[in-house]
Chain A
Amino acid sequence: MSVLESEQSDVVMRPDNIRTRTLPLVANLATAVVAFIVSAVVVLTTGIGNWVLVVVLGAVLYLVGLNIVASRVEGRRAARDKMWRAAIYSACLLAILPLASVVWTLVSKGVDRLDGNFFGTSMNNIGARDAGGGAYHAIIGTLEQVGIASLIAVPLGVLGAIYLVEYGKGKFANTVRFFVDVMTGIPSIVAGLFVLSFWVLIVSPWFNNGQPRFSGFAASLALSVLMLPTIVRSTEEMLRLVPGPLREGAYALGVPQWKTIVKIVLPTALPGIVTGVMLAIARAAGETAPVLLVAGGAAAINFDPFAGNQSSLALFVYQQAGDASKYAPARAWTAALTLVAIVLVLTIAAKLLARRNSLTR
């Protein structure tokens, strides 16, 4: 019912009657209460479900009821607006539930084994009946693999981004840009299979008397394949934000282009580049599948990334999850908590750095 229809000649226009009527909050809440009571009565008396169904049915009844009540008071369009707003808010609540459950489980189950022994010992000689054992070897493996992967991927990625921003023109640069984007979507297991067929089965026999050999370095190669596109993309974005006049000033002073890039452009974009690199590292540290395929996993400590099986934290979680020992789940959860802590610290540090970045602000 619009204002025009309801207006009468003898009514003076005042702020409260030239606006459309709105549904009071009390009516909104009352609809919710009624919806949930009806739902509870229906579900619990007929015995077709438990409280979960009460909540779900209640939410649906609330949305429908709100639509009906509001369309009586405010009109059809405003009612639809209200209903969609409620639906969007409930989508948000619905998504938070499982995520909160993940966090809660991680913390509550992860603290069981959060002790010095866990971080100081490996799984060597730990049988199915032994309560001890830890992730020392896996943490070493993760650090070495991710470190080597960054050594490979960061220079390649930054130089690739420099090509795209500073030198790249025409069809070839566009092709490279397109395939960098496509490469972000390569599944980690495919990267693992690639390194398996290329490094482990073809190249590594040259160094090992004709026998293929798993190694942490192979895992680093796979991780660097995964990190490369992320680093190129984020660095490219940062380099594009560097103001053109900075470059032109350098050129005007007679500085060659490569020196301009190294001395002017890169330092200006550095905080953003570091942010992107840290995000890529965080993603690589959580990868399980490539490490499983090309590093093999190991129970003992192996400091040498170039020879012999290595484990990693993510792989440790997976292997402990599949272990039949009754002590394995606790180890898996504590390792998962450690892994998430490492990844989140890296991510949060990267985001805070990005917030202080003067280019993006």
Chain B
Amino acid sequence: MGDNPSRSTDANAGGAGVTGRHASPVGIGVSPSSYEEPPFGGGGALPKKSRFSMESGFRGLSVASGAMVLVIIVAIAAFLISKAVPAISADKVNFLSFKEWFPNETEPRFGIAALAFGTVLSSVIALIVAVPISLGIALFLSHYAPKRLATPLGFVMDLLAAVPSVVFGLWGRDVFQAPVADFSVWLNHYFGWIPIFGGEGPFGQSIMLGGLVLAIMVLPIVTSLSREVFQQTPGMNEEAALALGATKWEMVRTAVLPYGKPGVIAAVMLGLGRALGETIALALTLGLVYNISFNLIQVGGNSIAANIATTFAEANDTGRGALIASGLVLFAITLVVNMAARAIIYRRREFRDSAA
């Protein structure tokens, strides 16, 4: 598509300059640009290729814009590192294993361990809840629902993906917290013997609340990506399964799911990336406590991004550097997750143009 047809194979013979100048009609016999130099090759009738034409200017501009993406990614890493290194070297304790966060004192002590743990735990809970449900919805939209229902429902899902995270955070704190607290009390009463549901309370702003709110937020993303993948299942495969006598579910299991597996994995990882980086919803729903605990229902939990948003206001120079250092860790984690997801998508080229 668009393979430079205006070029001849010998770049000097005509080049972009052939059509780059419309001021003088081509082919009138003499090159109007210069009478001194002999014209190149067989294009004696054509104007000489100018060094700075619109063509090369436009091309350069677009190449620069494309390269800008790489520049920005490298710049993000470079600037975060440059601000993080002084803060980490001022840290009196091990940055990777210390659990608390006191970067603003004269002897700054801070560590990423509890924050990174909370980030991963809340995201994993969100995925455990969201993935089965969103795969169900995706299958419903792509294979079960009548078209009249599937189109508006898919539209609603796309709209939900656009709802700002602060709205989900506000809803989670003001509305969803009470039922989750009740549920936590119930879990604690009957399943308190399992460590993750143990504890004495208080319950409410817990990892579970944060994880569930995150689940609601990643649901539309995972759903719309996996729906697109499921819809791309070749009709031949589905019909072949049905013709062999498979029931609808067997058709889904033998034709749709295996075909969509890489796409679904990528969708889940993209959802994971979104959940890991989520800031405001978690800042509003977690208990913001610096500890490492698998207890899901007691007030507690924290994440890298939520910690940045909540402690940024009172941070001094070292504090800012410490927050930037934690952001660097988050950047590294999400970069790895996203690159893995994209690498999976790129292996299956047919998904490449749809799974955005």
Contact = CB atoms under 8 A, between A and B. Distances in A.
Interface of A: 48-49, 52-53, 77-78, 80-81, 84-85, 87-92, 94-95, 98-99, 101-102, 105-106, 109, 155-157, 159-160, 162-168, 173, 175-176, 178-191, 193-194, 196-198, 201-202, 225, 228-229, 232-234, 237, 240, 244, 247-248, 251-252, 254-259, 261-262, 265, 279, 282-283, 285-289, 292-293, 314, 317-318, 321-322, 329, 332-333, 336, 339-340, 343-344, 347-348, 351
Contact of A340 (B163, B273, B274): B163
Contact of A189 (B58, B156, B279, B341): B279
Interface stretch (B75-83, B107-115, B202-210): B75-83
B69 A232 contact: yes
Contacts of B173: 321
Interface in B134-176: 134-137, 139-140, 144, 153, 155-156, 158-160, 162-171, 173-176
A98 B249 CA distance: 27
Interface string B27-52: 00000000000000000000000000
12 contacts: A85-B144, A95-B219, A98-B176, A156-B65, A189-B308, A190-B331, A194-B80, A228-B72, A240-B1, A254-B6, A258-B59, A282-B162
Contacts of A339: 164, 166-167
B167 A102 contact: yes
- SS class, residues of chain A in contact with chain B: helix
B253 to A, nearest CB: 8
Given A159-B61, A344-B159, A89 B1 contact: no
B62 A179 contact: no
A314 B164 contact: yes
A159 B62 contact: yes
A259 B6 CA distance: 12
Contact of B334 (A95, A105, A186): A186
B180 to A, nearest CB: 11
A78 B245 CA distance: 11
B1 A187 contact: no
A197 B353 contact: no
Nearest to A94: B133
A193 B325 CA distance: 10
Contacts of B223: 95
Contact of A293 (B79, B308, B341): B308
Task: Across the A-B interface, give the 4 residue pairs with the lowest CB-CB distance, nearest first.
Answer: A187-B277, A286-B164, A91-B136, A185-B338
A262 B69 CA distance: 22
B165 A292 contact: no
Contact of B132 (A91, A193, A233, A240): A91
Given A289-B279, A314-B166, A318-B166, A190 B62 contact: no
A321 B284 contact: yes
Nearest to B245: A77
- SS class, residues of chain B in contact with chain A: helix
Contacts of B57: 258
A180 B69 contact: yes
Given A80-B249, A189-B277, A197 B62 contact: no
A190 B332 CA distance: 10
Nearest to B341: A185
Given A85-B144, A188-B279, A318-B284, A289 B305 contact: yes
A190 B338 CA distance: 14
Contacts of B137: 88, 91-92, 95
B239 interface: no
Contacts of B163: 102, 286, 340, 343-344
A158 to B, nearest CB: 8
Contacts of A258: 54-55, 57-59
B162 A101 contact: no
B193 interface: no
B247 A78 contact: yes
Contacts of A332: 170
A86 B261 CA distance: 22
Contacts of A232: 69
A190 B2 contact: no
A279 B346 CA distance: 24
B243 interface: no
**Which of A184, A255, A293, A339 counts the most B-chain CB atoms under 10 A from its CB?**
A293
B280 interface: yes
Contacts of A286: 162-167
B346 A105 contact: no
A159 B134 CA distance: 35
B166 to A, nearest CB: 5
Nearest to A229: B69
B356 A182 contact: no
A233 B355 CA distance: 10
Interface in B251-299: 252, 270, 273-274, 276-280, 283-284
A105 B162 contact: no
Given A201-B83, A247-B2, 12 more contacts: A167-B62, A181-B345, A189-B308, A193-B80, A248-B5, A256-B54, A257-B2, A265-B2, A282-B162, A289-B280, A336-B164, A351-B158
A287 B134 CA distance: 24
Nearest to B190: A48
**Which of B16, B170, B270, B308 counts the most A-chain CB atoms under 10 A from its CB?**
B170
Nearest to B327: A193
A244 B1 contact: yes
Given A164-B66, A197-B82, A256 B159 contact: no
A269 to B, nearest CB: 13
A160 B159 contact: no
B244 interface: no
Contact of B279 (A78, A202, A247, A288): A288
A187 B65 contact: no
B72 A225 contact: yes
A201 B55 CA distance: 39
A251 B5 contact: yes
A89 B144 contact: yes
Contacts of B348: none
A94 B212 CA distance: 13
B62 A105 contact: no
Contacts of A292: 309, 312
B305 A182 contact: no
Contacts of A155: 65
A179 B312 contact: no
Contact of B165 (A94, A98, A248, A288): A288
Given A176-B66, A196-B324, A189 B330 contact: yes
